[in-house]
Structure 1
Amino acid sequence: METDRAAKLEFAVQMTCESCVNAVKGTLEKQPGVHSVQVDLSREEVLVETSLSTQEVQGLIEGTGRRAVLKGMGGSEPDLGAAVAMLSGLGRVQGVVRFLQLSEDRCLIDGAIDGLEPGAHGLHVHELGDLTQDCMSCGEHYNPFGKQHGGPEDTERHVGDLGNVQAGSDGRATFRLEDSQLKVWDVIGRSLVVDSGEDDLGRGNHPLSRQTGNSGQRLACGIIARSAGLFQNPKQICACDGVTLWEERDRPIAGKGRRVTDAPTANL
């Protein structure tokens, strides 16, 4: 389900003077959904406690003319784990989805997916982190308890059933969800898949309704990898991509062109 629960977001932001600090703080602090802002000019870091999505906060910061890169996420409790999936496929669909374990029984799922047809698209965690045959080798929905397919608020559901995300007329789905069954430590190494159609949440008459939600073909997918919590990412260069934080802002978030060699993508 959608959530307004706050999380802490740590950004690297290109800043050179106090006017930069004032511009960033002034923009963020007047925005509804932003609870607190801390700026460290010497480290070029901004820490935001907010109920807004990472994409929304990054857009606000970059609206001041400074580039920003998310370095870490955290909650009000001690670090319980964070992960990220960078989605890409054979078509133009690509995106980044982040997972943050807020408490023992609440997981935040924050993401943006581009290149979708307007409307609803099923989103599921699949059992395997295997992309050797693109999204077809990801296995079935993650379902450790052998249940039937359902919606994210149902008792009878796969753990990997995250419902639908809504793409607007621009083809982008931006979402911020909270789930009670998903655990970050259980899904690292598995995969996340976005589908071509709407998930009927197991309520349809089609034979696939109680298996997959009859949500169509798998459009894009990515392996769920561990990511940095707050203040855990000192990197300025990504060894897996070979790009700096700021070069990374000028490349696609996933898919072709992300890396110089166009080899399979990885996360910072």
Structure 2
Amino acid sequence: MGTPTSMADPSDPKEETEGVLSELLTEFMVDMKCDSCVSAVKNKLQTVDGVRIVDADMTNQLVRVLGSASLRTLTDALDQTGRKARLIGQGNPEDFLVSAAVAEFKGPVVHGVVRFAQVNMELARIEASFSGLSPGIHRWSINEYGDLTEGAASTGRMFNPSNGGISGEAVGDLGTLNVSREGEAFFSGTKKMLRVVDLIGRSVVVYESEDKSSSGVAAAVIARSAGVGENYKKICTCDGTVIWESRNNDFSSS
């Protein structure tokens, strides 16, 4: 599969998806206090298209989902159960050096999060959620540097290692985002030859136009994120808050 691109109507706020997503294991911390809570969560998730296996552990308040459903779809389903939930890890159970990464756009105008997860050595899954962009079609890419001293202008060229590129296509070319009238964009797709371990410290940049002729309007540094089995803490060590009080950076549509 090549560059993640969709030809959807920019006024349509629904998620852009390029084909069927590859299976990944996704872990959530879910506020479950009784057996009926566990049953409600499992039953709901098992109705989601693309979900193959759901495992819930009430003692540790841990839910593990194996399947091809997008993060946004899974978090929407959990929200419908009325249970508090937080994404805590995603990736392939195989032993990759780095299996997941994240880039957070923190405003003041554009907010969003882009997540990368390694499916196998030749394929990565990309999921993104944005708000605050101007309606229409925007180019976006992974750029060489995580230097944001001059915003997108100091992030360098599009990332394209010597062994990358498919049919002349740069590995860092993420195609286009279709932004709704409300300024929102959601994306789920895959990218060949993209290795998460090579992305840490680089940046994701969103451009004003479809062809990158204009300057970048927003940029964020790519940092390592928790893979599966790496983040079972219920207390945030940075500020001492419990997980339910922490800022929610998952893919809920709210």
Judge same fold: TM > 0.5, yes or no. Answer: yes
Residue 204 of structure 1 is matched in structure 2 by none
Match of 1:190 in 2: 202
Aligned mates of 1:128, 1:78 — CA distance in 2: 27
Query: Secondary structure of 1:30's match?
Result: coil
Q: Deviations over 1:7-64 (max 9, x none)?
A: 1100001111111111111111112121111110110011011212112211110111
Partner of 2:149: 132
Amino acid of the residue matched to residue 8 of structure 1? L
Q: CA deviation at 1:187?
A: 1.0
Q: Scaled by the length of structure 2, what TM-score is found? A: 0.82
Q: Which residue of 1 is the match for residue 56 of structure 2?
A: 39
Report the more deviating stretch, 21-30 or 116-125: 116-125
1:24-173 residue pairs with structure 2 within 5 A? 24-75=41-92, 77-79=94-96, 81-91=99-109, 93-145=110-162, 154-173=166-185
Change (3 A) 1:116 1:155: same
Are positions 1:244 and 2:242 aligned together? yes
Quick one: distance in 1 between partners of 2:239 and 2:125?
A: 26
- Corresponding residue for residue 225 of structure 1: 223
Deviations 1:172-217 (Å, cap 9, x if unpaired)?
A: 2221111112211111111111222223xxxxxxxxxxxxx43x33
Contiguous gaps of at least 5 residues in structure 1: 200-212, 254-268
Q: Is the 8 A contact 2:93 2:228 kept in 1?
A: no
With the length of structure 1 as denominator, give the TM-score of the two structures: 0.78
Distance between the aligned counterparts of 1:248 and 1:119, measured in 2?
32
SS in 2 for 1:25: helix
Give the equivalent residue in structure 1 for 2:191: 179
Q: Which has the higher contact order (CA 8 A, sep 6+)?
A: 2
Quote how far apart the aligned CAs of 1:131 are. 1.8
Question: Which of 9, 13, 19 lines up with 2:36 in the alignment?
Answer: 19
Give the count of matched residue pairs: 232
Deviation at 1:108, TM superposition (A): 0.9
Gaps (5+ residues) in structure 2? 5-17
| RMSD, aligned α-carbons | 2.3
- The change in CA–CA distance for 1:240 and 1:145 in structure 2 (over 3 A counts) is farther
Q: 1:56 to 1:140 in 2, by over 3 A?
A: same
CA distance in 2, matches of 1:169, 1:63: 26
Shift of 1:146: 10
Inter-CA distance 70–11: structure 2 relative to 1 (3 Å threshold):
same
Indicate conservation of the 8 Å contact 1:77/1:102, yes or no.
no
1:9 corresponds, among 11, 23, 26, to 26
Distance 1:32 1:25 in 2: 14
- Return closer, same or farther for 1:242/1:188 CA change in 2, 3 Å cut-off: farther
Does structure 1 retain, via aligned residues, the 8 Å contact 2:115–2:127? Answer: yes
* Aligned residues of 1:128 and 1:190 also touching (Cα < 8 A): yes
Q: Output one character per residue of 1:51-86: Cα deviation in whole Å (capped at 9) or x when no partner.
A: 121122111101111111111112264335211111
What percent identity do the matched residue pairs reach?
40
